[in-house]
């Protein structure tokens, strides 16, 4: 029987690559996103189901997971990928922007974990949660603003808590924390800032979404069964001192 994966932010740059990887790996994929057109596009593949969901709305998120349970009986893997980087400067970050940043990058993932863990219980094999964090939580030279960094640091602490909490239930929870990866999110900064950040990458280029997706696929595959509670930083070795 095919395994069921849920990917949030499925219609975005990283999300599409993760969906493609998991389909290639033989899973059925449910994608949650606010981008209806993007989900419809992905649904041309009948192994993919899109559910339009605003992940900052806990009730809507629970309703999406209820639909997944009704259709598939549960979940084997969850990739919390939806996220954004809002760029106002400290100390003038508007309260609404702060709340929005945390609501999507942290609270949305938190609610998905709560819903998914219940549906993972009792299923075969090692079930997986992969949280897409950011190198920005650990590198303080790059341009990332503090509310973005903090949202990802909170996500990584959730990774560790859940890894410990569910180890004997065989639910493995890891974070992947990429640096510069070429997606539409690059649009949040000017070309000048972007070029400088890409020039600091040791390979002289940004990473591609498919390169990050390959690591997600590895963690979700049986080869990834023995990793839990890790934050895997992908940055071509940029920050090694």
Choose the catalytic residue: 148, 159, 166, 209: 148
* 219-224 contacts at long range (C-beta below 8 A, 24 or more positions apart): 219/128, 219/130, 219/172, 219/174, 219/176, 220/5, 220/22, 220/25, 220/27, 220/77, 220/79, 220/128, 220/130, 221/25, 222/125, 222/126, 224/126, 224/128, 224/172, 224/174
Number of residues that bind ligand NAD (CB under 6 A): 28
Distance (Å, whole) CA 114 – CA 122: 15
- Do β-strands 28-33 and 48-52 pair in parallel, antiparallel, or remain unpaired? parallel
Q: Is 35 in the site for ligand NAD (CB under 6 A)?
A: yes
Residues whose CB is less than 8 angstroms from the CB of residue 107 and which lie 6 or more positions away in sequence, other chains included: 56, 58
Residue 19 or residue 126: which is nearer to ligand NAD going by CB? 19
Distance (Å, whole) CA 220 – CA 79: 9
Query: Among 49-57, 65-73, 86-94, 113-121, which window interacts with ligand NAD (CB under 6 A)?
Result: 49-57
Residue among 49, 101, 107, 134 that touches ligand NAD (CB under 6 A): 134
C-beta of 132: minimal distance to ligand NAD in Å?
A: 5
C-beta of 32: minimal distance to ligand NAD in Å?
A: 6
Q: Is 12 in the site for ligand NAD (CB under 6 A)?
A: yes
Distance (Å, whole) CA 51 – CA 153: 28
C-beta of 45: minimal distance to ligand NAD in Å?
A: 17
Query: Among 21-29, 78-86, 162-170, 218-226, which window interacts with ligand NAD (CB under 6 A)?
Result: 78-86
Site for ligand NAD in 164-223 (CB under 6 A): 178, 180-181, 183-185
Our answer to whether residue 138 is catalytic in this structure is no
Residue 185 or residue 214: which is nearer to ligand NAD going by CB? 185
Residues carrying an active site annotation: 148
Which residues of the chain form contacts with ligand NAD (CB under 6 A)? 9, 11-15, 33-35, 38, 53-56, 81-85, 104, 132, 134, 178, 180-181, 183-185
């Amino acid at each position: 029987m095919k395994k069921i994966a849920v990917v949030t932010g499925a219609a975005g740059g990283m999300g599409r690559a993760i969906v493609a990887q998991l389909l290639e790996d033989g899973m059925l994929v449910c994608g949650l996103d606010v981008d209806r057109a993007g989900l419809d596009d992905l649904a041309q593949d009948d192994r993919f189901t899109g559910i339009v969901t605003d992940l900052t709305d806990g009730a809507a998120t629970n309703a999406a997971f209820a639909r997944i349970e009704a259709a598939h009986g549960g979940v084997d893997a969850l990739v919390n990928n939806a996220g954004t980087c809002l760029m106002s400067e400290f100390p003038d970050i508007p309260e609404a922007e702060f709340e929005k940043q945390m609501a999507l990058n942290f609270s949305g993932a938190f609610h998905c974990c709560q819903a998914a863990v219940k549906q993972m219980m009792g299923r075969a094999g090692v079930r997986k949660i992969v949280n897409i964090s950011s190198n920005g939580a650990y590198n303080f030279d790059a341009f990332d603003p503090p509310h973005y960094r903090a949202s990802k640091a909170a996500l990584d602490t959730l990774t560790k808590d859940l890894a410990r909490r569910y180890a004997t239930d065989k639910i493995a929870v890891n974070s992947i924390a990429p640096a510069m990866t070429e997606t539409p999110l690059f649009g949040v900064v000017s070309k000048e800032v972007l070029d400088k950040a890409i020039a600091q990458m040791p390979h002289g280029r940004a990473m591609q979404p498919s390169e990050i997706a390959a690591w997600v696929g590895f963690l979700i595959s049986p080869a990834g069964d023995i990793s839990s509670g890790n934050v895997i930083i992908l940055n071509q070795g940029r920050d090694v001192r």
